[in-house]
């Protein structure tokens, strides 16, 4: 995970209000243990909107294996690689160990065609089977790509030599990241027949688009003037700084159609904690677990239509893939554990988003 040192906001005239230690009004989430590949390592990367299937990867003997949920745990799909997306039809997309995009359905794995025989990555899929990702060209560029059926189409570049699509909604709107002419990275949106739209930043040099919901809202991470990275929400017209849990940096990794955003953030004490952001407030998910659960949730990577969240947690010193289940009838409006409210400007700058841990795409300089 990435981090930079915290600097004061006073120089920019920002007002920072930090309210620590306010506990939740009640338990909102129960932790479901998805396993850890028999004591090795397991990471969930995506959950479909119905919550019926979770995918990711696990590490065995130093190798990464694509994984999907079976019997309540992440289980190897039988081949090396990483699963990065799944839809409600059970179609799974990802990347093989040899850096080839794949589609897995009906018990078989199909390598996706690409205009060249070089590397390709599949990172997301929508309900109609539209797949997004990236691929490398013979000229050494990496270009955002989508697949419709067996055919690959390049989305394009914003003037640089690298772009990658990371998320797609059910309307075919895509978000991702592209290099711009000065070498910086820019979050973008795109839809068929249109141009790539640069979403800008939070006042710094770079931004990375990660996920998009059916309203066209985008979440990701952007740099701010002081050198930090902050989670952002693009609401269709402007980029909103979601703040942090009291530390320097935060990263948004998922959004559902209700507008609930998930991600992870440094706390004031320097720990990584997962968060959920709704109705203008960022909540530390660790404060919304049963008292004495023993779990610490450090990172989350997706949220379904029901508000259930996938991520990574630690219990008694051992790390597991987890699902946080929002039980019916739980409190609708928890009290915030920590709130960062900023005014009169934007704050932060940071380092390159690791792209939801889903991508093995690497920028080609």
- Residue among 254, 220, 262, 172 nearest 350 (CA): 220
Beta strands in 285-363 (DSSP E): 295-303, 309-315, 318-325, 340-343
Torsions phi, psi for 332 (to 5 deg): -80, -25
How far apart, in whole angstroms, are the C-alpha atoms of residue 61 and residue 79?
Answer: 13
Q: Is 31 exposed, middle or buried (0-12, 13-18, 19+ CB in 10 A)?
A: buried
How far apart, in whole angstroms, are the C-alpha atoms of residue 97 and residue 12?
Answer: 46
Tokens of 186: 């820019």
- Residue among 2, 47, 3 nearest 326 (CA): 47
Tokens of 183: 């070498």
For residue 309, what pLDDT is reported? 98
All domains in the chain, ordered by first residue: 10-357 (2.120.10.30)
Residues 6+ apart with CB under 8 A from 207: 177, 185, 186, 187, 199, 200, 201, 220, 221, 222, 223, 232, 239
Tokens of 334: 């928890």
Tokens of 316: 């008694």
How far apart, in whole angstroms, are the C-alpha atoms of residue 180 and residue 10?
Answer: 31
- Tens of pLDDT along 302-335? 999 999 999 999 999 999 999 999 876 544 344 4
Torsions phi, psi for 347 (to 5 deg): -135, 145
- Tens of pLDDT along 77-94? 999 999 999 999 999 999
End-to-end CA distance of the chain: 22
Query: Which residues of the chain are under the pLDDT cut of 50?
Result: 1-26, 330-365
For residue 227, what pLDDT is reported? 85
Residues β-bridged to residue 105: 108
Say if residues 212 and 167 touch (Cβ distance below 8 Å): yes
């Amino acid at each position: 995970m990435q981090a930079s040192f915290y600097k004061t906001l006073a120089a920019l005239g920002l007002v920072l209000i930090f309210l620590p230690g306010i506990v939740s009004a009640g338990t909102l989430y129960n932790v479901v243990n998805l396993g850890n590949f028999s004591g090795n390592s397991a990471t969930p990367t995506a959950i479909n909107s119905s919550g019926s299937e979770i995918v990711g990867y696990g590490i065995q003997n130093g190798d990464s294996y694509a994984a999907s949920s079976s019997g309540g745990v992440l289980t190897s799909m039988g081949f090396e690689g990483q699963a990065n997306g799944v839809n409600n039809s059970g179609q799974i997309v990802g990347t093989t160990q040899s850096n080839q995009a794949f589609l897995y359905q009906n018990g078989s794995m199909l390598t996706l065609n690409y205009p060249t025989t070089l590397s390709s990555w599949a990172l997301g899929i929508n309900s109609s089977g539209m797949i997004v990702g990236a691929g490398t060209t013979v000229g050494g560029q990496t270009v955002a790509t989508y697949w419709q059926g067996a055919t690959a189409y390049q989305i394009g570049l914003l003037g640089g030599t690298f772009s990658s699509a990371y998320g797609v909604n059910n309307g075919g709107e895509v978000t991702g990241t592209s290099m711009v002419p000065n070498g910086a990275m820019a979050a973008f949106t795109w839809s068929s027949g249109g141009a790539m739209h640069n979403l800008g930043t939070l006042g710094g040099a770079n931004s990375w688009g990660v996920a998009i919901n059916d309203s066209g809202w985008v979440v990701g991470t952007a740099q701010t003037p002081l050198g930090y990275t902050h989670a952002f929400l693009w609401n269709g017209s402007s980029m909103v700084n979601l703040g942090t849990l009291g530390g320097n940096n935060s990263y948004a990794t998922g959004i559902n159609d209700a507008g609930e955003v998930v991600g992870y953030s440094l706390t004031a004490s320097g720990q990584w904690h997962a968060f959920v952001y709704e109705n203008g407030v960022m909540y530390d998910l660790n404060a919304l677990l049963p008292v004495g659960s023993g779990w610490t949730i450090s990172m989350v990577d997706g949220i379904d239509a029901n508000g259930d969240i996938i991520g990574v947690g630690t219990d008694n010193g051992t790390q597991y893939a987890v699902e946080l289940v929002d039980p019916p009838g739980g409190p609708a409006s928890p009290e915030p554990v920590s709130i960062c409210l900023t005014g009169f400007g934007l704050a932060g700058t940071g380092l390159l988003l690791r792209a939801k841990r889903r991508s093995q795409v690497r920028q080609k300089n």
